Structure 1
Amino acid sequence: MKAEGSSGLEQTVIRIGHFEFLNGYPLYYGLEKGAGWGCFHLVNGVPTVLNRMLLQGELDISPVSSIECAAHAAELLFLPRVSITADGAVDSIRLISSRPISEIGTVAVTQQSATSVVLLKILLKQKYGLDPAYGALDGGIDEALGSHDAVLLIGDQALGAHYGAVGAYSYDLGEEWKSFTGLPMVFALWAVRRPFFARRAEETLEVQDRLCYSVEYCRGHWDEVVAAAACVYPFDEELLFSYFDKLRYDFSDEYRAGLAEFYRRAVEIGEAEPAPELEFIQV
């Protein structure tokens, strides 16, 4: 297994999007442990980049941010057994603020995840009755907090800021969503381009099987997985154990309900158009 850019790949190679963030680690780690696995390449990127690459045909299969799944439902098919979900606190989707959330008037938001931005807007508008001014997060966190009341961070940057006690207040958006709706928050699904699936359905299902195998392998070997992750990411093993314990990678009926509620509220606040039902591959 190798992660690299997408240039120079032969057509027979399955190009799979590879989340650079820690939350995707268990989905990929076990791939190397499986036997009989065909030829594939992992292509690195943050969520917004992988979304674009899949839609432009530069990837064949990839995790896709939840809000983009709805926006491009006509172009994609979705794998029914895999997601990136949190049923409560997630740690890596954080609103870091210099003041209490009820007093926030300006927010600098990450440009790496459209779903997290929409989630924040839902929570601030519908849970807290706020309509702050939003700006793009450019530069460092301290710089952003110097010109905004709060900053939305995702991924490893959010983990580092939270555990490094950056900002006076730190709000976990997974926890905020759960307390507001009582439902899990689905951050990403796995999708395949329809033309690719039409040609290579069996291999697509094999990818799904391997992703599920990877997660199951990690569940049975957390000591090994955490030790390996600690060599790659700048976090200690205690934090890694705690973080991985918060993440879910299957896609149950309850998670589907959480996703539907997210879409409903995104439409209500004008951040999404009513979309057709997502079409999942029949297994």
Structure 2
Amino acid sequence: MSVVIGEISYTNIRPFFFYLDRPMLKEHNCQFVPQVPAQLNNEMAKGRVDIGGISSFAYAEHALEYTLLPNLSVTSYGAVNSIFLFSKVPINELNGKKVALTWSSASSVNLLKIILEHFYSMTISYTTMNPNVGSMLEDHDACLLIGDDAIVAKREYGSSLHHYDLGELWFNQTGLPMTFAVFAVRNETLRHHPSLVGLIYRSFLQSKLESESKNYQPMIAEIVKSHGGEKSFWDHYFQKLCNDFGPEEQKGLFYYYQLLYKMKYLTNPVEKLQIWDGAISK
């Protein structure tokens, strides 16, 4: 039986995958599935992905079925620089307006709902659409984009539209970091393949540490070639992201879950974050 590793197809998670020894992991019967967060969330819920990066909201929906891996996340303390609300009007004028949401992420969509409905006390009409600024704003007043789609849109529309960084809005309201993606493993996979899960985890951790030790430079050089943009942008982008998942990151994520349950966007409360305590020793 193979273990399927989910790989979010956005640059923000690349430090965890850039230095992976993929041939070695494939020799251990691992397969890689690169998809956008929403697709990976769905595949993991159906048991077709066993371990990897998923939307933090997806963990909340399956907290009794998944276990989180420590020390690994995509988190921001303030601006995340790849999750933006683009708007025709200032954000404080969006009450009663129509907002288009990208279909590709659950964490950011629900974070936007917290920001607009809880922090700004607004009533909003939402529509989920393909992530394209032009089509999203044809019949809507604002739109949410994430990941590489948001980065490209910021380059093209940053001077013509109001734009708001969701990580910055969250931090300004709470003083807490926001964790957008976590690394999780299905409990069934952890029971049947604990040693292999440990090998995969240590591979993620080593890739993260090597990326950081080299200041992301080899990875950034590749991203500039494949995605464009100025090197200075990507330098700033990765320096601002936090790849850890310690007590402070967990505190911010738990508060996010509490608000979602209070607002009825989560059916069941997340009583605790189930984090694997055998990650290093296995």
TM-score in terms of structure 2 length: 0.91
Alignment partner of 1:106 out of 88, 98, 110: 98
- The amino acid across from 2:111 in the alignment is L
SS of the residue 2:31 aligns to: strand
Residues 1:277 and 2:272 are matched in the alignment: yes
Residues 1:255 and 2:231 are matched in the alignment: no
Instruction: Please report how far the alpha carbon of residue 253 of structure 1 lies from its aligned counterpart in structure 2 after TM superposition.
Output: 0.5
Identity rate, percent: 32
Alignment partner of 1:42 out of 32, 41, 50: 32
In 1, the alpha carbon distance for the partners of 2:220 and 2:257 equals 34
Change in Cα spacing, 1:128 to 1:139, as seen in structure 2 (3 Å) is closer
In 2, the alpha carbon distance for the partners of 1:64 and 1:28 equals 14
In 1, the alpha carbon distance for the partners of 2:222 and 2:192 equals 36
CA offset digits 1:130-182 (Å, max 9, x no partner): 11111112473112212111000001010111122344201000000000000
Change in Cα spacing, 1:34 to 1:258, as seen in structure 2 (3 Å) is farther
Residues 1:30 and 2:19 are matched in the alignment: yes
Whether the 8 Å contact between 1:54 and 1:62 is mirrored in structure 2 is no
Residues 1:232 and 2:222 are matched in the alignment: no
Instruction: Please report how far the alpha carbon of residue 119 of structure 1 lies from its aligned counterpart in structure 2 after TM superposition.
Output: 0.2
1:147 aligned residue: 139
Residues 1:14 and 2:3 are matched in the alignment: yes
In 2, the alpha carbon distance for the partners of 1:94 and 1:235 equals 17
In 2, the alpha carbon distance for the partners of 1:174 and 1:49 equals 22
In 1, the alpha carbon distance for the partners of 2:205 and 2:14 equals 13
- The amino acid across from 1:172 in the alignment is D
Residues 1:201 and 2:201 are matched in the alignment: no
1:79 aligned residue: 69
Instruction: Please report how far the alpha carbon of residue 35 of structure 1 lies from its aligned counterpart in structure 2 after TM superposition.
Output: 7.3
In 1, the alpha carbon distance for the partners of 2:157 and 2:221 equals 24
CA offset digits 1:96-152 (Å, max 9, x no partner): 011100111110001111111110010011221211111112473112212111000
Instruction: Please report how far the alpha carbon of residue 82 of structure 1 lies from its aligned counterpart in structure 2 after TM superposition.
Output: 1.1
Alignment partner of 2:182 out of 157, 181, 189: 189
In 1, the alpha carbon distance for the partners of 2:71 and 2:200 equals 11
Segments ≥4 residues shifted beyond 4 Å: 33-38
Instruction: Please report how far the alpha carbon of residue 234 of structure 1 lies from its aligned counterpart in structure 2 after TM superposition.
Output: 2.8
CA RMSD between the two structures: 1.8
SS of the residue 1:270 aligns to: coil
In 1, the alpha carbon distance for the partners of 2:33 and 2:25 equals 21
CA offset digits 1:30-72 (Å, max 9, x no partner): 1149978853221011111101111212111121211111111
Instruction: Please report how far the alpha carbon of residue 217 of structure 1 lies from its aligned counterpart in structure 2 after TM superposition.
Output: 0.7
Give aligned pairs, total: 272
- The amino acid across from 1:161 in the alignment is A
SS of the residue 2:184 aligns to: strand
Whether the 8 Å contact between 2:6 and 2:53 is mirrored in structure 1 is yes
Whether the 8 Å contact between 2:131 and 2:145 is mirrored in structure 1 is no
2:207 aligned residue: 214
SS of the residue 1:44 aligns to: strand
Residues 1:176 and 2:176 are matched in the alignment: no
SS of the residue 1:239 aligns to: helix
